[in-house]
A = this chain, B = another copy of it.
Amino acid sequence: MNISKIRERTLPLKNVAIRDHFWSHYIRLVREVVVPYQWEVLNDRVPEAEPSHAVRNFKIAAGEEQGEFGGMVFQDSDVAKWLEAVAYLLQTGPDRELEAAADEMIDIIAKAQHADGYLNTYFTLKEPEGRWTNLAECHELYCAGHMIEAAVAYYEATGKRKIIDVVCRFADYIDSVFGSEPGKLNGYDGHQEIELALVKLYRTTGIERYLRLSQYFLDQRGSRPHFYFREFKLRDGKVHFLQLDMAHDLKYSQSHRPVRQQDEAVGHAVRLVYMLSGMADVAAETGDASLLQACRSIWKSIVTKRMYITAGIGSMAYGESFTADYDLPSDTAYAETCASIGLIFFAHRMLQLEPSSEYASIMERALYNTVVSGMARDGKSFFYVNPLEVDPRLFGKNQIYDHVKPIRQEWFSCACCPPNIARLLASLGQYIYTVKGDTLYTHLYIGGHAKIDWEDGSFEIEQSGNYAWEGQVKLNIAATCSHAKTIALRIPDWCDGVKIEIDGVPLELEQQRIEHGYVTITRQWAAATEIRLLFDMPIKKMKGHPALRHTAGKIALQRGPFIYCLEEADNGEHLHLLAIPENGGLEAAYVPELLGGITVIRAEALRQVAEPCDDRAALYGNTLALYGDASSMNWREASCQATFIPYYAWANRGMGEMTVWVRERLL
């Protein structure tokens, strides 16, 4: 195996240790709570959680237990995502117990593998004749992809070859089944994932066959005659998921046209961002300009027309999908946690291809809002769906909100989000820096230590400060390189001005060289250099594009990377009656005892109040009609204070109303 090309673009996770004011808490939770708890759930040892069956399925397939397959068709991927998270944790710190559990699991996985390399407990146990007969629906290659990602991460963490040998045999077998040669299946998975995984496997093993197979899956996608129509006929119209028509709703799986001809964000949101990640990876390895161009077009479609202000994506529960340009309802939103995680994957890959702060800004927006919202402060409950407006009184009453939960759930029958949060946070160190040529890019301001190895020496960087709440960053750099290097520091999209000092000397505005949203500083770095950044962190009143129906007349508050929201706990019921005056005062205040320590925003506000003003008041008591004009309803505005909290922290104080968008009162 060679040193993979990826080393030219991102830092090995091992080289980055996070010690951050905001993130350390969550990363510690992943290590101490989430991943151990997941292991118990996967082993069906948590009485109050629905049985996962995931480990047991592997044991049965390995011949170690008797029984039947349980869970979803993609249940194997839960084990893989857990293993991947474990691998990242091992890359950043030893843990004998976790490693022992992982090794034990890997032994079982290896035994569950068929002699020909095939590995999938659903088909092994439940449909042994059904292998590769329903790619549109049955997630076979998706599960393979997750196992490959886990294997690569585990090998990188431990150097142990067992699981990577398993997935190489599996990938070799897949390569023997799929392809354009006569006698091979020219299909591809309904749920993209293997594409990006195969590039990882290629980068770690150096085996080009895996890259070519990834490229093949992407090239084949959406070609005509359509593979899903043919396989549907061949299996006599057998359907796995009755609620959706995956074999024919081609946009759902982004197979409605060849990937290079796609320029709109459609279909299942997670599938799209996983596919785009794979496309960016293949483009990076092959220099395929048309693939990169499609990535750019769909990125633009997402972030300029189909994304919530929280970087949530997918505005519809049905199909967990994108809908139409500017259709972003707040209360029926889907905005799956996994989709925003996938958006981070995609953005991170685009940053490796063409560093530009637009990618990093969205990565940050997703991370500090929808992703961290996905997990409770205690790491024990999770959101799958991340709405921007909630009235818990309607749950169980109006079916359009059936997918929304007013409080985080302990586990899920389809448990994709919690392990996805775990593997993202366990590998967060990967997303902070990238290297391109002689430039080190700082995309995220997350405290901790990083080591960058150049050909002519190394950098040690210590990042510190209170970026998330105060916009303060300190970078202490110790360099041994013999040649000049450039450090590129992202200017956040919420920041209108930045103060920079290098070893106490201000870098004046006119001296600041800004490229694609990054301040670049090029020099021969000394043994010890200190860079201080102070980003202006005003409270911003954000408005939506005029075509956005659901934000018309409303504002959302943002401060630093955080989008804010109103909760009933602070503001009483009927949040829709509150309005923020155009020129009203806004004040940020750090409240250490609230929700683990957050900066709240206190706003001058007006509450609409209505009283009956006609004879009815006397007749019927002080009740208001359902509809009335000025002769029957007396409306006035009462001054009050509204308290906003960061969106990610909502629903940690019981059930209540929440809203991100609030009416603005123009003067």
List residues of A (386-414) whose CB comes within 8 Å of B's CBs.
Answer: 391, 393-394, 397-400
User: Could you say which residues of chain B place their CB within 8 Å of the CB of A318?
Assistant: 399-400
Q: Look across to chain B and name the residue whose beta carbon is closest to the beta carbon of A302.
A: B626
Chain A residues bordering chain B, tally (CB within 8 A): 60
List residues of A (613-639) whose CB comes within 8 Å of B's CBs.
Answer: 623-631, 633, 635, 637
Q: Is A49 an interface residue (CB 8 A)?
A: no
Q: Look across to chain B and name the residue whose beta carbon is closest to the beta carbon of A666.
A: B665
Q: Is A466 an interface residue (CB 8 A)?
A: no
Q: Is the CB of A553 within 8 A of B574?
A: no
Instruction: Point out the residue from B325, B542, B608 that lies within 8 Å of A546, measured CB to CB.
Output: B608
* A504 CB, min distance to chain B CBs, angstroms: 30
Which of A144-152, A200-208, A304-312 touches B?
A: A304-312
Q: Is A324 an interface residue (CB 8 A)?
A: yes
A541 to B628, CA, bound (A): 8
Instruction: Point out the residue from B317, B324, B556, B630 that lies within 8 Å of A541, measured CB to CB.
Output: B630
Q: Is A131 an interface residue (CB 8 A)?
A: no
Q: Is A332 an interface residue (CB 8 A)?
A: yes
Q: Is the CB of A610 within 8 A of B543?
A: yes
Per-position contact with B for A626-666: 1 when CB-CB < 8 Å, else 0? Answer: 11111101010100000000000000000000000001011
User: Could you say which residues of chain B place their CB within 8 Å of the CB of A625?
Assistant: 304, 545
List residues of A (93-113) whose CB comes within 8 Å of B's CBs.
Answer: none
Q: Is the CB of A552 within 8 A of B663?
A: yes
Q: Is A327 an interface residue (CB 8 A)?
A: yes
Which among A317, A558, A625 has the greatest number of chain B C-beta atoms within 10 A?
Answer: A625
Q: Is A589 an interface residue (CB 8 A)?
A: no
Q: A553-B663, A610-B545 are in contact. Are A629 and B398 (CB under 8 A)?
A: no
Q: Is the CB of A626 within 8 A of B323?
A: no
A631 to B493, CA, bound (A): 11
Q: Is the CB of A635 within 8 A of B543?
A: yes
Q: Is the CB of B305 within 8 A of A626?
A: yes
A398 to B543, CA, bound (A): 23
A307 to B234, CA, bound (A): 51
Q: Is A544 an interface residue (CB 8 A)?
A: yes
Instruction: Point out the residue from B303, B317, B610, B630 that lies within 8 Å of A626, measured CB to CB.
Output: B303
Q: Is the CB of B327 within 8 A of A545?
A: no
Q: Is the CB of B323 within 8 A of A397?
A: yes
Q: Is A212 an interface residue (CB 8 A)?
A: no
Q: Is A21 an interface residue (CB 8 A)?
A: no
Q: Is the CB of B399 within 8 A of A316?
A: yes
Per-position contact with B for A516-548: 1 when CB-CB < 8 Å, else 0? Answer: 000000000000000000000000111111111
Q: Is A609 an interface residue (CB 8 A)?
A: yes
Q: Is A549 an interface residue (CB 8 A)?
A: yes
Q: Is A593 an interface residue (CB 8 A)?
A: no
Q: Is the CB of A546 within 8 A of B624?
A: yes
Q: Is the CB of B324 within 8 A of A542?
A: no
User: Could you say which residues of chain B place their CB within 8 Å of the CB of A400?
Assistant: 316-318, 329, 332, 400
* A315 CB, min distance to chain B CBs, angstroms: 7
Q: Look across to chain B and name the residue whose beta carbon is closest to the beta carbon of A563.
A: B627
Q: A397-B327, A399-B316, A541-B630 are in contact. Are A609 and B546 (CB under 8 A)?
A: yes
Instruction: Point out the residue from B317, B546, B637 that lies within 8 Å of A610, measured CB to CB.
Output: B546
Q: Is the CB of A545 within 8 A of B631?
A: no
User: Could you say which residues of chain B place their CB within 8 Å of the CB of A317?
Assistant: 399-400
A577 to B309, CA, bound (A): 19
Q: Is the CB of A549 within 8 A of B624?
A: no
A624 to B305, CA, bound (A): 10
Instruction: Point out the residue from B303, B577, B624 that lies within 8 Å of A552, measured CB to CB.
Output: B577
User: Could you say which residues of chain B place their CB within 8 Å of the CB of A610?
Assistant: 543, 545-546
Q: Is the CB of B324 within 8 A of A626?
A: no
Q: Is the CB of B627 within 8 A of A309?
A: yes
A53 to B451, CA, bound (A): 77
User: Could you say which residues of chain B place their CB within 8 Å of the CB of A576?
Assistant: 549, 552-553
Q: Which 7 pairs show the lowest CB-CB distances between chains A and B?
A: A318-B399, A552-B576, A324-B397, A323-B398, A540-B629, A549-B576, A323-B397
Given A324-B397, A324-B398, A327-B394, output 12 extra A-B contacts at Cβ < 8 Å. A315-B398, A318-B400, A323-B397, A324-B393, A329-B400, A545-B625, A545-B626, A547-B574, A552-B576, A552-B608, A637-B666, A666-B666
> Would you list 13 pairs from A and B whose C-beta atoms are within 8 A, ordered by A residue?
A304-B623, A305-B626, A307-B626, A325-B393, A329-B398, A332-B400, A391-B549, A400-B400, A541-B630, A544-B627, A545-B627, A552-B608, A553-B608
